[in-house]
Structure 1
Amino acid sequence: MKGIFAGSGNAGMSSPYIAAAVISLTRRLPEDLSLLYIGTASYDIAEYRHMQTGAFSTMGVAVRSLDVANKSMPREAMAEAVDEADIILVSGGNTLYAVDRWEYLGLGDLLRAASLNGKVMTGGSAGAICWFDGGHSDSMDPESHRWFKLKNDAADCRPGKAGKGMKSSLFEEGTRSDEETEAETDTDSDEDSKCSSTNDWEYIRVSGLGILPGLICPHHDRVQSNGVLRSTDFMTMMKRHSCEVGIGIDHFAALEIDGSEFRVLSIPGQTGSVDVRDGGGKIPGVWINYVGDDGIVHSKICPRGGKVSDLLQNLKYPAKNLVADKRVKLCRKANPPLED
């Protein structure tokens, strides 16, 4: 499999540095490439598509979107869109909603097959979690839920912004206006938000597509609206999921997988949680968490590169060892997957 998985959706995938790395994995020129953007996790809101595909468009990559968050599409049409893409980019947003929706539509199987056919799979935040066995997710955050996102897309509550209305289409070419470019921010989560709401929510383990083994924590070095540092909560989660290897990806870092090799990417000029030698501050990085025989969670800095087999542990009996989070049912009740 080839892919780049960023700690942040907006800050990561809008970075020219990350976009160039994704393109490099194809071994082809940008103008010869087609990128398929799947924005299910952010409910196909156009603003997020512009943010996360803009760098690719600027470099000459043709961008299309597959919008299935709020409406169905024939399997044949989804299969054609996936087959024609060289790069598949999944948005940040609500991981649980996205994976549930894909499995309901049959898109999950198409994405699993695509990962084996030489396509480059990428995304940040929810778009990083989804390719793995599971992830440390803020899908319980009410501001990540479909009703909240679509309501605030129709009547944007940010100061100085008029209501834009919902923007969604079956297939839409990736373009961006100057106004949309100026509106970008680099402070997203896998459930980015626009307006204030309750902060009384908890991180949960959600399942991904299971293409790669591992439990992913995006925004590893960040505190979100519930006031809890994700890396701290991730350590606690690991105790409940002791058979899994936990991969924490800083907000401005990414994990690149190229077949049997991996590499850690750090967006230049940004800070993170990894100390630089000789007192050079901190850079974005990746951390490996695992539970030892002593029951203690151990955390170490991921090397800058190496063998994927040394990084990701394959469970012998994943169905037996992967533990479901009981709170997922509550989350689905609060933000039910669309079944149309």
Structure 2
Amino acid sequence: MEEGSSVKRQVIALGGGGFSMEPDNLALDRYILSQSEEKEPRICFIPTASGDKPEYIRRFYEAFGRLTCKPCHLSLFEPLFQNLHDFVLEQDILYVGGGSTRNLLVLWQEWELDGIIAEAYQNGVILAGISAGANCWFEDGVTDPLNGPLYAIEGLGMLSGSICPHFDGEIKRRPAYLEAIGKGTMKEGYGVDDGAALHFVDEQLIHVICSRRNTPAYKISRQGVETFEEAIPAAYLD
């Protein structure tokens, strides 16, 4: 992506869905591709949060091989790139997969990938992701360790506030998120259901879209110790 004076910064954060959860419904994935100005955008899958699981990578290529794009992936466990900085900046879209947000952030910091991605964002590379790949763009996110309670984790902070992916898709998510905001341990933010996504341009929410009918997102705010949910209607992608 070439640097220019009218660069548009974009983040598309999926609560759930996309190729990894809905392999027969690629509406959200098509939407991500459609936001690029390139006719055949270069989209790079970053599966760090899953430990670069081969099956996850295979499913990415299976899905995006059916779409109009140039797919590739970035593995930190079996790297194929010669220069990480140049490889990332050559992409039009970065699509971050789900898994462990904590592991993702630790590895990105070790490889200095967090700073490289921040530079790519400023240069107009579209950032997208699901679950952990949505958490990472915000100041705060909700993550769940194996056999442990949900907890708040700091993200990279491209976007202000917090996010809770799988808001209704996993039974513990909604109450844990509302409690954390009520206690002030997490910033106000967004609960995003499976099948819904938030689209930010220049750090402002401009669209909520969904691949499943009647699937909203929620703006979560706090007054004192009380939390309030405001449903944000989503445009259905048919």
Long gaps (5+) in structure 1: 142-199, 270-282, 306-340
Alpha-carbon distance in 2 for matches of 1:4, 1:117: 16
User: Quick one: structure 1 residues 43 and 255, their matched pair in 2 at CA, closer, same or farther if it must change by over 3 Å?
Assistant: same
**Aligned-residue offset at 1:229:** 3.0
Aligned: 1:65 with 2:73: yes
**2:10 maps to amino acid:** K
How far does residue 261 in structure 1 lie from its aligned partner after superposition? 4.9
Structure 1 residue 201: Cα displacement: 1.7
Q: Does 1:249 align with 2:180?
A: no
Partner SS state of residue 26, structure 1? coil
Name the counterpart of 1:291: 222
For 2:173, give the aligned amino acid: R
Report the AA paired with residue 27 of structure 1: E
Indicate which of 29, 36, 40 corresponds to 1:19. 29
Residue in 1 aligned with 2:117?
111
Percent identity, please: 25
Whichever residue aligns with residue 133 of structure 1, its letter is E
Tell me, in whole angstroms, the C-alpha distance in 1 between the residues paired with 2:23 and 2:43: 13
Residues 120-269 of structure 1 mapped to structure 2, 5 A cutoff: 120-138=126-144, 140-141=145-146, 200-223=147-170, 228-241=171-184, 244-259=187-202, 260-268=204-212
- Partners of 2:48 and 2:13 in 1: CA distance: 17
CA contact (8 A) 1:219 1:251 kept: yes
Identify if the C-alpha distance between structure 1 residues 133 and 52 changes in structure 2 by more than 3 Å, giving closer, same or farther. Answer: farther
More strand per residue: 2
| Alpha carbons 2:183, 2:225 under 8 Å: kept | no
Separation in 2, partners of 1:13, 1:131: 24
Structure 2 equivalent of residue 81 of structure 1: 87
TM-score (norm 1): 0.61
Larger Rg computed on CA atoms:
1
Match of 1:310 in 2: none
| Structure 2 segments unaligned to the other structure (5+ residues) | 1-8
Task: For 1:56 and 1:114, locate their aligned partners in 2 and report how far apart those are by CA, in whole Å.
Answer: 22
Residue 194 of structure 1 corresponds to none
Query: How many residues get paired?
Result: 224
Tell me: CA distance 1:230–1:120, structure 2 relative to 1, closer, same or farther (3 Å).
same
Indicate if the aligned counterparts of 2:164 and 2:173 stay in contact, CA closer than 8 A: yes
Give the corresponding residue for 1:102. Answer: 108
What is the DSSP-based 3-state SS (H/G/I as helix, E as strand, rest coil) of the residue aligned with 2:83? Answer: helix
Q: Distance in 1 between matches of 2:28 and 2:127?
A: 13
Q: Match of 2:21, SS?
A: helix
Deviation at 1:29, TM superposition (A): 1.4
Scaled by the length of structure 2, the TM-score of the pair is: 0.85
Q: 1:45: Cα distance to partner?
A: 0.9
CA drift at 1:12: 6.1
Q: 1:236, 1:72 → 2: CA distance?
A: 40
Cα separation, 2, equivalents of 1:295 and 1:267: 34
Q: Given that residues 167 and 193 in structure 2 are in contact (C-alpha distance below 8 angstroms), is that contact kept between their aligned partners in structure 1?
A: yes
| Structure with greater helix percent | 1
Answer whether contact 1:288 1:301 (CA < 8 A) is retained: yes
Q: CA offset at residue 125 of structure 1? A: 0.6
Q: 2 CA distance for matches of 1:12 and 1:262?
A: 24
